[in-house]
Structure formats: structure tokens, C-alpha cells
Amino acid sequence: MTTLTDAGLTDPALTASVPVVSHPLVDARAQLREAVDLLGYDDGVYAMLASPRREVTVSIPLRRDDGAIELFVGHRVQHNFSRGPAKGGLRYSPDVTLDEVRALAMWMTWKCALLDVPYGGAKGGVCIDPRQYSAAELERVTRRYTSEISPLIGPERDIPAPDIGTDEQTMAWMMDTFSVSRGHTVLGVTTGKPISLGGSLGRTTATSRGVVHVALAALHDRGIDASRATAAVQGFGKVGRYAARFLAEAGVRVVAVSDQYGAVTNDRGIDVPALESYVDTTGSVVGFAGAAEMSGAALLEADVDLLVPAAVEGVIHEENAPRIRARVIVEGANGPTTPEADAVLEAAGCLVVPDILANAGGVIVSYFEWVQANQAYWWSADEVEARLATRMRDAWTRVNVHAASLGVPLRRAATALAVEAVAQAHFQRGLYP
């Protein structure tokens, strides 16, 4: 197993507190190493792609509503620009670390390359628990963070989007702060914005739509009829909630759902719209009358056809992987499965559809939003949905065919396709100076 020291990790807070098994940067670099070896590239190429091109850490002082001052740390990591501007989400979570942001930025590079979206990868994070702060406080944090990273972002440089703990309102504040500094409205600086501010129809649900497009294809590939299939979904936020909804609409019986507070289960199938209304009122799935309580750990090990992890990294690891019974795992979250768990699941015959393919719907429609904003010309919802479906299904087929031809799992095939596209861009551009 790769150790923290081998991986060259530098964040002391993280290395002190988090077990190696759930370390996303170790996992991301192990996946890159496999792809580089498969492609026959040398160590120089690995070194170039294992490290971000540019990263910045900023202090964000906040004046709280009661007048007290608090200080937060924020990061923006731009992993690669060889195929276009950097692109990636902004995360607000108390668990954010620089190394986590580096891993997420690297995965964004591969995702954009795999889906042939003309971007490199980036990611941002602020180490804050947004649930503990008022909307006015979050607005001040967002505006100060945006102002600090403003020289690095822009429609041609780096385009943030929502991720864990942020939403369309966050993107509206970022766009406004950036625009004020430039003296004119720059709609293309963020994606995932409200529709009234240049957001794209279909962006809110795009990641989940994409997850379900590939989930249905993967079930079909395994000879599982969707109308007889069962599913468990970890996470009931922007990705998990709509994934559960669209799976249910496709006839899949969603028998278990969780969030960070707990999990609920119903063998006959959870009434997803009723659960959505309940969560809108209470803020959690816990206590939903239409289902029984279960533990979050048990949800991952439920006897289902399909498991959709749609929460955080490293939740499927070498310790629980032998107990996972799902026949298909479709990664709504980024980095939910460690390389050690991948090996266990592969040996057990479980099909794992990797994050860089499965959850790419979000960045695809973010790309559509950027194209629309830059042209100030808006597409219909049907146009967006049709183009999204075509791209997701084509990518699924391409990765599947490549995996079969190489005799490797989907993740290795997908990462190799992506790394090859990025490396080719590097080779063709040449090394400056």
C-alpha cells in the first residue's frame, strides 16, 4: 500500500488525523501511476501530472453577525490547463484540506479529458462548516474568498462551480464579486448559477441525470432488468437526492438512502418524492416515517443490485469492501472507493463505474452553461438534456470498449483514456521554454 510519506503529502493537520485508507490524494496518485504504467509513459510524465500547475492558499477573515472575528483558510488548486481553462467545484466543509483539494482537482482534469470537455481541472475549498453560519456570514466568506482568488479565475482561466456545502447562491455571489472587480458583468466566471443569472436549464440535476444514464447502462450490461433492480444511495444532497429520484422514475426500487446524520431503509421501496419533502422540512432523512432506521455503514453493505455512493471520499475501503454485496457500484461522489477496495471488488466480480465517468454530467452541463453565457444565447431544457444523454452514453460505450479490449476494470480504462488525452496535449504543445 502507498504510504503518506511515499505520496509526498504535506498537510500536517490531515496526516495527523485521517487514516491512510481514506486519503484521496494517495488514491488519486495511485490511479495515475497505474494509468502511466499502462500507457508506457516515463516517470517525468507521472511527475508532471501528479502535481498541480498552480495552487493558492488564502486567509479569509469573517466579521460574524455578533461582531466577533473568525479566520478561515481557503484553497484553490489548478491541476492542469493543457486542454483549456481550469474547471472545478468549490467545497465548504470542515474536513477540507489542501491535499484533498489537490486530489479533487486532479480528478477534474481526467473527467474533462475523458468527456472531451475543453478544460483542465481545478478545485477549491474553504475549511468551514456552512451549517453553523448565517446566510449573511456565508455571503461575506464567499465574497472575501472570491476576491482573494480573483486574479486566478475568469472565463478563460478557471471557472468554479458548486460542490459539497455550496450552491447556486454561492455561485451568484462569486460571479457578482468578480464582476464588480472587473467593472462589468462576467457571466462565464462561474457555472451552476441561478437560471435568472445565466444558469443553464438542466444544470441542477445534470450530475444525477448522468449518474442514472450510466447506472441504467451498467445494469443492462450485467443483465439486470432495471424494473426489477434494487438500489441504495449514500448521500441525499445535490447529487444523491436527484439520483434517487431519477432511479425511482426509471423503475428501480430505491430501498435505502443515507445522509451524514443516518440512514433509512424500506424493502418495498422508499417513496422518494415524500422523502424529498421530508428532508426539505427537517434537513435530514433521519426520522422519515416511510422507512426504518439503519446505520450508514449498513447501507453500504446492503444486499442491492446497485449502490450509488454520492457523499464523500474513501467510504468504500479495504476493511468494508469484502462485505459489499452490490453487483454494480456507480460513483456519484468523487473518490468514494480506495484502490485497495477496487481490487477486492474486482476480484468479487462487482462492476465499479468510476467517478470520472459516472458523475461527469455536472461538468458537461457546466460546459454548456459556460458556452451559453459566453455567447449570451440560451438553449432549451430538451436541448441540454439530449446533449447530456448523448455525451454520457457515448463515454460509457467508449470506456467499456476500451476496458474490454485491454482486459482491465473500467476505472483503469477511463483513467488511461483521460491521461493519454492530457499527455498528448502536453506533448503537442511542447514544454516551455
Q: Which residues bind ligand NAD (CB under 6 A)?
A: 162-165, 207, 234-240, 258-260, 296, 310-312, 332-334, 359, 362
Ordered DSSP codes for 214-238: HHHHHHHHTT--GGG-EEEEE--ST
Which residue in the block uniquely carries the three cell numbers 516551455? 432
Smallest separation (angstroms) from ligand NAD to the CB of 4: 21
Phi, psi of 317, deg, nearest 5: -130, 180
Smallest separation (angstroms) from ligand NAD to the CB of 433: 36
Residue 192 or 224 having the CB closest to ligand NAD = 192
42-72 CB burial, b ≥16 within 10 A, e <16:
eeebbebbbebbbbeebebebeeeeeeeeeb
How many other CB atoms are found less than 10 A from the CB of residue 320?
15
Relative orientation angle of helices 206-221 and 240-249, to the nearest 10 degrees: 50
Ordered DSSP codes for 368-425: HHHHHHHHT----HHHHHHHHHHHHHHHHHHHHHHHHHHT--HHHHHHHHHHHHHHHH
Q: How many angstroms separate the most distant Cα atoms in the chain?
A: 64
Interatomic CA distance for residues 167 and 163, integer angstroms: 7
Contact 337, 352 (CB under 8 A): yes
Q: By beta-carbon distance, which residue lies closest to ligand NAD?
A: 237
Phi, psi of 212, deg, nearest 5: -75, -35
Encode 232-277 in three state secondary structure. Answer: EEECCCCCHHHHHHHHHHCCCEEEEEEECCEEEECCCCCCHHHHHH
Smallest separation (angstroms) from ligand NAD to the CB of 394: 18
Smallest separation (angstroms) from ligand NAD to the CB of 287: 14
Residue 48 or 371 having the CB closest to ligand NAD = 371
Smallest separation (angstroms) from ligand NAD to the CB of 242: 9
Residue 309 or 409 having the CB closest to ligand NAD = 309
Residue 392 or 423 having the CB closest to ligand NAD = 392
Residue 301 or 423 having the CB closest to ligand NAD = 301
Interatomic CA distance for residues 362 and 208, integer angstroms: 8
Smallest separation (angstroms) from ligand NAD to the CB of 129: 11
Smallest separation (angstroms) from ligand NAD to the CB of 220: 23
Which residues pair with residue 123 across a beta bridge? 77
Question: What proportions of the chain, in percent to the nearest 5, are helix, strand and coil?
Answer: 50, 15, 35
Interatomic CA distance for residues 56 and 201, integer angstroms: 32
Residue 100 or 305 having the CB closest to ligand NAD = 100
Ordered DSSP codes for 18-51: S-GGG-HHHHHHHHHHHHHHHHT--HHHHHHHHS
CA distances from 382 to 202, 210, 388 (A): 9, 15, 10
* Residue 123 annotated as catalytic: yes
**Cell numbers at 15, concatenated:** 496526516
| Catalytic choice (87, 111, 123, 238) | 123
Residue 161 or 423 having the CB closest to ligand NAD = 161
Interatomic CA distance for residues 285 and 293, integer angstroms: 9
How many other CB atoms are found less than 10 A from the CB of residue 202?
24
Smallest separation (angstroms) from ligand NAD to the CB of 26: 17
Any idea which residues carry the catalytic annotation?
123
